[in-house]
Structure formats: structure tokens, C-alpha cells
Amino acid sequence: MSTEGHVQHTPEELADLAKKQLASLLSKNEPLKPKDRLAIPPQEMPAQAPKARIGNMSEVALGYSAEQAKLESLRCIQCKNAPCIEGCPVIIDIPGFVKAIAEDDYQKAIDIIKRNSLLPAVCGRVCPQETQCQEKCTVGKSLKDAEKSVSIGRLERFVADWERENGKMKTPEVKPDTGKKVAVIGSGPASLVVAADVRREGHAVTIFEAFHKPGGVMIYGIPEFRLPKKIVQMEIDTLTAMGVEIKTNFVIGRTRKLRDLIDKDGFRAVFVGTGAGLPKFMNIEGENLVGVFSANEYLTRSNLMKAYDKERAHTPIYASKKVAVLGGGNVAMDSARTAVRLGAEEVHIIYRRTEKEMPARIEEIAHAKEEGVIFHILENAKRFIGNEYGCVTQVECLRYELGEPDSSGRRRPVEIKGSEFIMDFDTVIVAIGNDSNPLIKQTTNGLNTTKWGNIIVDETQKTSIDRVFAGGDIVLGAATVILAMGEGRRAAKSINELLANEK
């Protein structure tokens, strides 16, 4: 995995370069052959310079210029079998929308995407494209480098941003009221898709959200510098404009029981999209010392309650000098980069496999490195050591080596006996994943779950309880925004079919 060559140019330089490249390409005035297309240089994502961005919370990746987008879209050879579509969890017509960008028809491009995806501005930013559509891309295969695949995600973001910034976002049409009510529990990506798709059929939809702001992980989890909150808010505003009702500060299982929604409150169907919100800990010595946080807590304080705004926020956030982040996923990168922005002097990522096995997006790993985050691979925490005040001061680590592949297909890390060593840290952020949230299960009789607490559903996303559907991380375990959306779409279809057949 190479991260070299990233952010060598300023956004202005990239835009100028693209203008020139495009002019020379079009000056030939003849149709582009696949060979010509493969010769177009992959377009680098303009970004805030590392030194500047570590002092602010604004978005790092700035988005393509029009010329860059056109050049990138012209790199697509429009191959017949379109393997990229197979790689997309929601089966977007990728060559179709890329071609529309190449033809400068942005409206057509966004319309094509929106046939399958409700949240392109979000997915264009946070999807792990390199293991989905772009992994399969023929251009990347021809150039023998998956990093040279067409940047489908950046193009998706480009047209989604064009739509939003030019006031082209439309409120989807809603069929006449059916008088039937549907409850959606949680307001993350899966839930938003269900709400939109079910509302479009004319059913009344109420979203119940436990926090005081809707958006789920897109609001409390993913930081502003990776996903600006105003983008999420606009998607939510669209739902409200469609007539979806959102009840915040409402915990199903506590404020109201799930079964009461159906038995007493007249909801004809319920969708459970409560996510994977129960942080995993390592169950090692010293884990409850002061200064040891779950990534969820650390990120929520910063993102949802804006603790990074130290002048205005009432919510405190730990003042750290040396931070260890345990884990190698996007949440680990988000935590590390948040700590950098909050003023930590040194931030270390500790991961027990190698960089190749890290589940984080390549771009996030690259950005973290550029921002000075120090990576320790093939190492893992063994115990946390504290002082007389019960505050963490050191982490004892072990070195690892890679053994045989495990059930996830990744090579299993094996500890090297006697390799213990100690590093000084005043803050530890545990970002090793989430288990499913237990609240609904605890408070709903007859809802079948796996031994890990994930709700069991059939191929229509229906649970063991009549009229109750589920999707997203509460079913999948911690996964991605796009997979959650795919599940939401399927659940909405099942709910709409169920209600269509009833008076």
C-alpha cells in the first residue's frame, strides 16, 4: 500500500494542471480510444495541507474541480461487463453516471446514482471504495494497480456536492397518504433509507432517536473533518420536508417498549436500525483507569457535543499529551486524527496486524500519517499501568507476527513470547469495534438474536416478531454506511409490500 505522492500539489495547482491536461486531450478532436483513456493521469484529490488542517476541524478532502472530474470520468473505458457494479453493495449503474459526468450532464449523473443510493454525498466520502467498486475496476486491473482504478467515490461525491451546492436537491415525491403508520428506530444510514422509501409510498413515518440530534453514527461518530455535519443535516431536512416525523430524546425499549408501538400506538410496521453501539473493550488489566476511553465516548464528546470548541462547549474532553489509539479501522483513524486536532503532542496507533490488514480506508491511513500520527504495527496492548490517582500513565505492549489466515481471511497475529515493552501514555482510546446495542433485545420478548446479540432476520429483513424488521449494524455487526443502506432499502421494500397487501 503506497501512500506516497499524496498532497504534493495545492488545490489550485491541481485545478490548473487538470485544465491543461483536459485542453490538450480535447484538442485532438477525435474520439478517445481505450489506450488514450488509460493514459490520462489519475486525478489526485485536492486536500487541505497537513500543517493547516491539524489546526482546524474543517473537511480535509476538498473535492475535484470540474476539469478534474471530467478527466477522471474520461479514464473510465466503459467496459461491457462493468465489474464495478458487482462491487457496489447497492448496485449503482457506475459506468452510466461516470459517462454522464464525462458528458458534463451532472443532473443525469446524480439522477442515476439516486436511483439506488439515497446518500451519495455521504457515501462518496466514507465508502471503502478500494474494497468495493474500485477493487474490481478494469482500468485498475489494466494498469496493474488498484490505486489507479477510476476514482468512482470521488466522482460520486463530486456530483452529489454539485447537486447540493447548486440548490438542485429535490424533495422526492410522496404518494397520497395511506393512513398507515411505520416506526423507524434509530436515525443512522439504514434508518434514513427506510424512512425515505416507506414515506414515498404515502405511509406516515416516525423516526425515534435516542440522542438529541438525528443522524446516528454520521453525526456522533464520523468527525467533521471527514464528513461535514451540514451534509448530513441536509439529508435529514429532506426527510422532514417529505413529512417524516423525527422524535429525538426517545429511547425505544425505555421511553416506550417496541411491542407497545404495534400493540398500543397503532404502528403497522417497525424497523429496528439501532446500530452496533456497544463499545468492545480488551478485558485487560487497567482498562478502567482514568484516561482510558472507548472511541465512541471520545468521538461523541468531540463530534456531537462539539467539545473541540473549547471556548463554547460545556462538555469536557480529556486534555491529552501522549495518546495511544488501539485498532486499525476507520474509527481508530478518526480518533487519532481528532486527538491531533485537540492538541495532543504525540498520537500513536497500535495495531496487532500489519498495515495491509488494516480495515481503514487507504485515504484515512494516508491522511493520518500526513498529520503525524505514529503507526505501530504488529504490536498490541497487554495491560494499562496507572499512577496513585488511578490515571493511566503507561501501556505495556507485546510484539506480534503474522501466522496462518483466520476466519476473516486475514493472517492471524500471533504474539511473540517475552517481547513485552512499555510506552508512556496519558490517554488511551480503545477502537477495536462495537458489539450490538443490547437495549432493544433486553426489553423485547421474543426477538431472536445471535449469541453476539445481532438481530436475526430473513431475506426480507424480517425479524422473529411479526411486523418488525431490522437492518444495518444491529444485524450485520459493525459494518459500513453503504451496507447499512442496502439493508435499509431491502427492509423498506418488504414493509411497503406488507402494507400494500393490507387494508
Partner 1 sequence: MNKILSRRQLSENVYMMQVEAPLISSERRPGQFIILSLSDDYAERIPLTIADADPAKGSITIIFQAVGKTTKDLSRLNVGDSIANLVGPLGNPTHIEKFGTVVCVGGGIGVAPMHPIAQGMKKAGNKLIVIIGARSKDLVILEDEMRAIADELIICTDDGSYGRKALVTEPLKELCERNPKPDLAVAIGPPIMMKFCASTTRPYNVHTLVSLNTIMVDGTGMCGGCRVTVGKETKFVCVDGPEFDGHLVDFDNMMKRLNSYKMQEKHIDEKECKLDSEIEKARTHQ
Footprint of partner 1 on this chain (CB under 8 A)? 210-213, 220, 248-251, 254-256, 277-279, 281, 283, 287-291, 293-294, 296-297, 300-301, 305-306, 309, 312-319, 389-391, 437-439, 442
**Of the two residues 83 and 438, which places its CB atom closer to partner 1 in the complex?**
438
Residue 400 contacts residue 414 (beta carbons within 8 Å): yes
**Of the two residues 3 and 233, which places its CB atom closer to partner 1 in the complex?**
233
**Of the two residues 58 and 248, which places its CB atom closer to partner 1 in the complex?**
248
DSSP H helices in 41-119: 50-53, 66-74, 83-87, 94-102, 106-116
Residue 335 contacts residue 295 (beta carbons within 8 Å): yes
Residue 75 contacts residue 129 (beta carbons within 8 Å): no
Question: Which residues contact residue 155 at a Cβ distance below 8 angstroms, ignoring those fewer than 6 apart?
Answer: 64, 69, 72, 73, 97, 98, 101, 109, 124
Please report the sign of the dihedral spanned by the C-alpha atoms of residue 449, residue 451, residue 453, residue 459: negative
- Distance (Å, whole) CA 270 – CA 491: 10
| Cell numbers found for residue 482 | 453503504
CB of residue 472 vs partner 1: minimum separation in angstroms? 14
Question: Which residues contact residue 196 at a Cβ distance below 8 angstroms, ignoring those fewer than 6 apart?
Answer: 118, 172, 238, 239, 242, 244, 492
Work out the burial of residue 198: count CB atoms within 10 Å of its CB; fewer than 13 is exposed, 13-18 middle, 19 or more buried: buried
**Of the two residues 60 and 440, which places its CB atom closer to partner 1 in the complex?**
440
Secondary structure of residue 47 in the 3-state scheme: strand
Between strands 322-326 and 427-430, the pairing is parallel
- Distance (Å, whole) CA 248 – CA 208: 6
CA angle 344, 350, 356 (to 5 degrees): 125
CB of residue 315 vs partner 1: minimum separation in angstroms? 4
**Of the two residues 162 and 318, which places its CB atom closer to partner 1 in the complex?**
318
**Of the two residues 174 and 385, which places its CB atom closer to partner 1 in the complex?**
385
Work out the burial of residue 3: count CB atoms within 10 Å of its CB; fewer than 13 is exposed, 13-18 middle, 19 or more buried: middle
**Of the two residues 35 and 312, which places its CB atom closer to partner 1 in the complex?**
312
CB of residue 467 vs partner 1: minimum separation in angstroms? 22
Q: How far is CA 417 from CA 282, 352, 459, in A?
A: 19, 14, 45
**Of the two residues 171 and 249, which places its CB atom closer to partner 1 in the complex?**
249
What HEC string does 350-404 produce? Answer: EECCCHHHCCCCHHHHHHHHHCCCEEEECEEEEEEEECCCCEEEEEEEEEEEEEE
Rg (the chain; Cα; Å): 23
- Distance (Å, whole) CA 483 – CA 489: 10
CB of residue 257 vs partner 1: minimum separation in angstroms? 8
| Cell numbers found for residue 302 | 468531540
CB of residue 282 vs partner 1: minimum separation in angstroms? 10
CB of residue 233 vs partner 1: minimum separation in angstroms? 12
CB of residue 340 vs partner 1: minimum separation in angstroms? 19
| Cell numbers found for residue 113 | 446514482
CB of residue 427 vs partner 1: minimum separation in angstroms? 11
CB of residue 387 vs partner 1: minimum separation in angstroms? 10
**Of the two residues 101 and 217, which places its CB atom closer to partner 1 in the complex?**
217
CB of residue 118 vs partner 1: minimum separation in angstroms? 24
**Of the two residues 36 and 297, which places its CB atom closer to partner 1 in the complex?**
297
In sequence order, the β-bridge partners of residue 383 are: 396
Q: Which helix (H) or strand (E) holds 208?
A: strand 204-208
CB of residue 423 vs partner 1: minimum separation in angstroms? 21
**Of the two residues 162 and 208, which places its CB atom closer to partner 1 in the complex?**
208
**Of the two residues 27 and 452, which places its CB atom closer to partner 1 in the complex?**
452
CB of residue 294 vs partner 1: minimum separation in angstroms? 4
